[in-house]
Structure 1
C-alpha cells in the first residue's frame, strides 16, 4: 500500500487527498446531525444537501489556500497540525453560514459537533498515515545510538527519523546533567553503560554528533568505542556543512551501508607486531591508500614513520596532516617526508639504510585504468620495474617485512594497469620464495570508496553540478571497501605474510555501479530522472565501457583459498613462474621501456601474465601519434623511391 502511494504521480496525490477529505467531512456532518436529531430519516431533504454542498465547496477553497495538500504527510509537523485546526474551524463556520443561507434548519449545536468529528477525521487520518509510513519504514532501518545529546545530536536525530537508513533508539552523553533524561522521547544514557544498552536495544552502530568537541577528544571516544567492538561513525554537524568545515564527501563516506556488508574490524595483535616500535616506510604516501596507511600507522606508535612520495604537493599535504595528527592525539613518533621515485634504486637504498627501515608498505603505483592504457611504457616502468627496484633495495638493506598493495584488476586482466600489477605480484612471489629473511606478501582488494578517481567523489561532484551522473554500462559491477578498511587489511596482512602470499578480503557481494549511482543521488537529497520519473532532478547517462574496462572484477585466479588468523581475510594460493623465466622477462622489459617500445612492452606483459587478454588496438596516445608519423614517412619514402626509379628509366636510351 505504501509503495503504491509513493509511486503515484505528484499531481494525482493532492486530488485524491482532497476527495478523501470531502468524503470524511460529509460523514462528519451526517454523523453530527444524526447524533443531534437521534436519527437520519428526520433531516434528509434537498435543503440539507444544498447546505452540505455549499459547505464542502467553501471548505475545499479554504483547505487549498491553507496549503494542506502541499504538505508531505510523512514530514507533517506542528505547522501542518495548526493549518488543519484552522481549516476545520473555518469549515465549521462555513457550515453555520451555509445553514443560514439555504434555510436548512441545522441546529446550532451541529457545527460544534461537526468541528470535533472533522478535526478527528482530517487531522487524525493524516497522523495515522504518518505513523503507518514511519512504522513500515523502520522495519528496514539500521538501529543506531547517537553519542552527543546537544544541539547537533538533536538535529541528527530529527534528520534520521525522516530518513530511510537509520533508526535512533538511544542517546549517550558525557554531561551528567543530561543523563537519565528524555530528549524528544529518547532516553539519554551514561556512556559507561554502552555495552549493556547496545545489547538490550540491538544497536548496530554509534553515530558521533559532537562537532563542537575538540578533534582529539572525538578520536579518543571513537577509539574507546571501537575497542569495545562497536562500529562508530563521526558525522559533521549542520553548521559545519553550511560553513564549509564539513565536506560533502564526508556525507557519502558516512553511508557505508553502500557496501552491502559490515565493515571488517581489525585485530590489534596483527597490526602492532609490524609497526609498534619499528621504523616504517610508506611509498606513494600522498595517494588515497598511502595517506590512509600513514594515518593509521601513526596510531600504533611506530618509532619512526618515513613517507616517500614523488609529488611535492601530495608529500607536503600528508606531512602537514601527520604533524597535526601527532599534536592532536599526543602521540610521540618521528615523521620524515622525503621526495623520491621508487624506480631510483640508489635513492631507495639511501633512505632504507639511512633510517634503518624494518617494514615497507609499497603503495606507489599508477592505478587509473584509462590513463595507464594510454601510457603503456610509463605504466609498466613505474608499476613493474618500480616494484622490482624497491624490492631489491629492501632485500639488500635487511628489511624484515615488505607488503605490496595490489588490486582485483590483477586477476585475469584486460588492461595494462591490471597486467602490470599482476606482474608486480609475480616479482613479489619470486622474492618471497628466494629470500626467506624478508617476509614478502601482497594485499589484493577491490575499489576503495572515496579514493582519488573512484566513483563516489566523481558521482558526488556530478550531482553537485546538477548532473548527469555518468555510468559506463548498466551491468558493470565492482567490489567495494572503505579507505580505513583497506588500510587496516594491509597493516594486518604484513604480520601474517610470508613466502610471497597473496591476501584477499571477503568483500561480500559486488555492487552494481548503476544502483550505487541511484543510491547516492537519493542520499544527497535528489530524485533520479528517468523514463518512470521524467520530472526527477538528476539523470544517469550511460557512456560505454572505457578502454581496458571489464563488466565485472574478480579477486582470485583459482579456487585454492586458505583461511587465516582473521575470519574475513583469506590466503590465496596463486600460480607462480620460475625465477629464470622471470629474470629473462624483466631483462626484456627493461630494454623495451628504455627504448619506448609499446608493442614490445605489451607483448612481454602477455607472456608474463598468463590470463592477460589485451585490446587488439593499442591505446597508447603517443605511440599512436608516432605510428601515424612513421606511416607517413614510409609512404613519402616509397613515393620518392618510385619517382627516382621512374626518372632513371625515362632518361635511358631506347
Structure 2
C-alpha cells in the first residue's frame, strides 16, 4: 500500500510539473509574439509615415528606432505584467480582457511619451503615435486570435464526430445558453454538439450567440428538430417561471427528443451554469405548478428552540417534515417510527447535514398506547406532527381492521397522550381521501379528523389541528414511481380508468405549507391546501412515457386500462359541501368549517371500533359507515383475514 501511495504521489507531482512547464511555455510564446508585434508595429509606422518610400527614410530615424524599440518592449512587458495580461487563460478571452488591455495602454501611452522626450534617441511623434496604435491592435489580435484558432479547431473536431454525438437544440439565448456553448467549444470533446438556438424574444431572432444562429421561437422547435436531426433539447432559461417552462417542455416532448434542463435559478448555488449541472427533465417540470411561497420566519418561530416530535418520521412525508424542522433549529427532534431502517436512514442524513442537531430516534408503534405515552412523558415535546398511518387504498380494503388499529386508534392514543402530558400543539397529516370517502383508508382518516376536533373541545390547552392535502409526487406508493418502474420494464403502464384525476404537489411544497399551517392554528381547524388544478392520470402516464423517449402506443410503451381498484374514486375532493372555506394569510392554505357532532356518542362508537378491530371483525366496514355518514360502501361486510 505504501509503494502504491508513493507511486501515486510521483505521478501527481509529475503531472503538476508538466502543467507548470506548459503554462510557462505559453507565457513565453505570448511574450515573444508581443515583442515581435512591437517591432513590426513601429517599423510599419515608420514606413507608413514615409509612404513606403524606403529611400527617403533617414538613417538617423532607423538608428534611433532600433535603439528605441528594445526599451519599448521592456516597458510594455512591465505594464502588461502589472495589468495581468499574462495571467489570463486566453482561450476564454472576453470583453473583460479587452478592458484590461485598454487600461494597460492608457498607462503605457504617457510612459512612452515621457520616455521619448528624455532619451537622446527619440523618434518623431507621428511614428510614436502610429506605432502605439498598431501595437495595441496587435496585442488584442494575438490574444483573440488564439481563442479564434482554438474555436475553429474545436468546431472542426466536433463536426468530424458529429454522427456519434447528440445534436442539441438550446431553448433560451441568455447567459446559460452562452455558458453551455462556450464549454462545448473550448473544452475537451463532449457528447453533444449545439446545432441551433430558439428564443421567444423577437429582438433576438436572426442574431447569433457565439456563432450559433437564433432561428425561431418555441413554436419553431418541431421544425428545427426535423431540419437538424436534433436528438436532445436543453431548456436553458434558469429564471423561467414554472408555467412557462411547462408550456415549452410540453411542446418539446412531442418531438420525441431527449429533454434536459439547467436547474432553476434558486437551485444554482453560485448562479453559474455548466454542462455538469444539466439534468434530465422530470415529470414535475411538466406540471407547471406555481411556486409555493411560505413565510419562513413564521415556520422558524414555531419550531426554533423547541422539542419537536414526528411520528412516522421515516416515511415520505415524515422524513421531509424532519428535514425542514431540522433546518429551523429545534432544541431537539424526536423521530418515532415502527420501521427501523427508514428511521435510521433519516437520522443519519440529518446528522450529516446538521452536526449540531440533537436528534433522537425511537422505534415503536402508535398502536401501543403505553409506549407512545412513555415517549411523550420522557421527552416533553412542544409540538407533535402525526404522520404515522397506513395510506395504501387497495391494501386497506383487504385489511380494514389494520387501518382502524393504526390510523384511528393510533391517532387517538397519540392525541390523548399529548393532551394529558402538556403538549402545546398536535398536528394530524390527513388526506383528500377523507372527503366523502369511498375507501376504508379514506374513511379511517376522516375519523382521525373527527378525533382531532373532539380532542380540541375536550382539551383546550392543547392546540389540535389537521392538514388535508392530495397526492404528493414521488412518495412511497405514489403512481409516479410505479409508472417509472413499468416504463423501465418495457410496459405496459397500467391506468385504472382514463377519466381518473388527482391533485398533485411535491413533498417539500406540501410539508412547507403544513409547517406554516401549524403556525396559524388556534384549535380544532382542518386546514386544506390549495393543490392547484387536478391532473388526469392518463395524461401523466403519456407524458412520462414521452419523457423516457418512447411513444405511448403498441410500438413504444402501451398503456393498459385495468379498471378502478376497490375503494378508488374517479375524482378526489378537498372539502365536504357543508364545510365551507375560510381564508388564511397564505392564499394556498384554507380552513374548513368544523362539522358539528355529538362527542359522547362519537366516543362510544370509537370504543366499539376499537373492540371490533381487535377481534378482527368481519363487519368493520359497516361500523365505519355508521361513524362516517358520508362513507358509502356497496358491500358493507369485509372478509375476515386468515
User: TM tier, shorter chain?
Assistant: 0.5 to 0.7
Shift of 1:255: 3.8
Shift of 1:607: 1.5
Structure 1 position 560 matched with structure 2 position 551: no
Cross-structure match for 2:422: 398
Aligned pairs (5 A) from 1:337-356: 337-356=361-380
Verify the 8 A CA contact 2:500 2:537 in the aligned structure 1.
yes
Q: Could you give the per-residue CA deviations for residues 365-390 of structure 1, whole angstroms, max 9, x where no partner exists? A: 00000111110111111000000000
Alpha-carbon distance between aligned partners in 2 of 1:555 and 1:348, rounded to the nearest angstrom = 30
Q: Could you give the per-residue CA deviations for residues 244-301 of structure 1, whole angstroms, max 9, x where no partner exists? A: xxxxxxx57x442343421312211331122111110000011111011111111111
Q: Could you give the per-residue CA deviations for residues 19-50 of structure 1, whole angstroms, max 9, x where no partner exists? A: xxxxxxxxxxxxxxxxxxxxxxxxxxxxxxxx
Verify the 8 A CA contact 2:366 2:372 in the aligned structure 1.
yes
Cross-structure match for 2:607: 587
Change (3 A) 1:509 1:344: same
What secondary structure does 2:346 align onto? helix
Shift of 1:309: 0.5
Verify the 8 A CA contact 1:415 1:615 in the aligned structure 2.
no
Aligned pairs (5 A) from 1:256-405: 256-327=284-355, 332-405=356-429
Cross-structure match for 1:569: 589
Cross-structure match for 2:621: 602
Change (3 A) 1:159 1:274: farther
Cross-structure match for 1:434: 458
Alpha-carbon distance between aligned partners in 1 of 2:348 and 2:268, rounded to the nearest angstrom = 22
Verify the 8 A CA contact 2:453 2:525 in the aligned structure 1.
yes
Alpha-carbon distance between aligned partners in 1 of 2:469 and 2:521, rounded to the nearest angstrom = 15
Structure 1 position 539 matched with structure 2 position 558: yes
Alpha-carbon distance between aligned partners in 2 of 1:378 and 1:343, rounded to the nearest angstrom = 10
Aligned pairs (5 A) from 1:109-148: 146=176
Shift of 1:596: 1.5
What secondary structure does 2:325 align onto? helix
Verify the 8 A CA contact 1:161 1:167 in the aligned structure 2.
no
CA RMSD of aligned residues (A): 4.2
Verify the 8 A CA contact 1:404 1:441 in the aligned structure 2.
yes
Aligned pairs (5 A) from 1:61-210: 146=176, 149=179, 203-204=240-241
How many correspondences in the alignment? Answer: 433
Shift of 1:362: 0.3
| TM-score of the superposed pair, with normalisation by structure 1 | 0.59
Cross-structure match for 2:431: 407
Alpha-carbon distance between aligned partners in 1 of 2:629 and 2:607, rounded to the nearest angstrom = 18
Greater CA deviation, 379-388 or 314-323? 314-323
What secondary structure does 2:430 align onto? strand
What secondary structure does 2:362 align onto? strand
Cross-structure match for 2:502: 478
Verify the 8 A CA contact 2:622 2:637 in the aligned structure 1.
no
| Residue 471 (structure 2) aligned to one of 422, 447, 451 | 447
Structure 1 position 521 matched with structure 2 position 576: no
What secondary structure does 1:528 align onto? coil
| Residue 467 (structure 1) aligned to one of 462, 484, 491 | 491
Greater CA deviation, 442-451 or 518-527? 518-527
Verify the 8 A CA contact 2:307 2:380 in the aligned structure 1.
yes
| Residue 616 (structure 1) aligned to one of 616, 625, 635 | 635
Alpha-carbon distance between aligned partners in 1 of 2:497 and 2:634, rounded to the nearest angstrom = 18
Change (3 A) 1:324 1:81: closer
Q: Could you give the per-residue CA deviations for residues 111-135 of structure 1, whole angstroms, max 9, x where no partner exists? A: xxxxxxxxxxxxxxxxxxx99xx79
Shift of 1:314: 1.4
Alpha-carbon distance between aligned partners in 2 of 1:219 and 1:261, rounded to the nearest angstrom = 14
What secondary structure does 1:272 align onto? helix
What secondary structure does 2:531 align onto? coil
Q: Please, which runs of 5 or more residues in structure 2 have no aligned partner? A: 1-154, 202-208, 214-236, 246-262
Q: Please, which runs of 5 or more residues in structure 1 have no aligned partner? A: 1-76, 85-129, 170-181, 187-199, 208-217, 242-250, 626-654
Alpha-carbon distance between aligned partners in 2 of 1:586 and 1:357, rounded to the nearest angstrom = 26
Alpha-carbon distance between aligned partners in 1 of 2:615 and 2:275, rounded to the nearest angstrom = 52
Aligned pairs (5 A) from 1:6-25: none
Verify the 8 A CA contact 1:414 1:615 in the aligned structure 2.
no
Aligned pairs (5 A) from 1:43-58: none
Verify the 8 A CA contact 1:285 1:309 in the aligned structure 2.
yes
Alpha-carbon distance between aligned partners in 1 of 2:340 and 2:426, rounded to the nearest angstrom = 24
Change (3 A) 1:377 1:235: farther
Q: Could you give the per-residue CA deviations for residues 603-627 of structure 1, whole angstroms, max 9, x where no partner exists? A: 221111120002316454x44x5xx
Shift of 1:223: 9.4
Shift of 1:154: 6.4
Structure 1 position 506 matched with structure 2 position 530: yes
Q: Could you give the per-residue CA deviations for residues 36-95 of structure 1, whole angstroms, max 9, x where no partner exists? A: xxxxxxxxxxxxxxxxxxxxxxxxxxxxxxxxxxxxxxxxx98998899xxxxxxxxxxx
| TM-score of the superposed pair, with normalisation by structure 2 | 0.60
Shift of 1:425: 0.2
Alpha-carbon distance between aligned partners in 1 of 2:309 and 2:265, rounded to the nearest angstrom = 26
What secondary structure does 2:602 align onto? helix
Verify the 8 A CA contact 1:144 1:168 in the aligned structure 2.
no
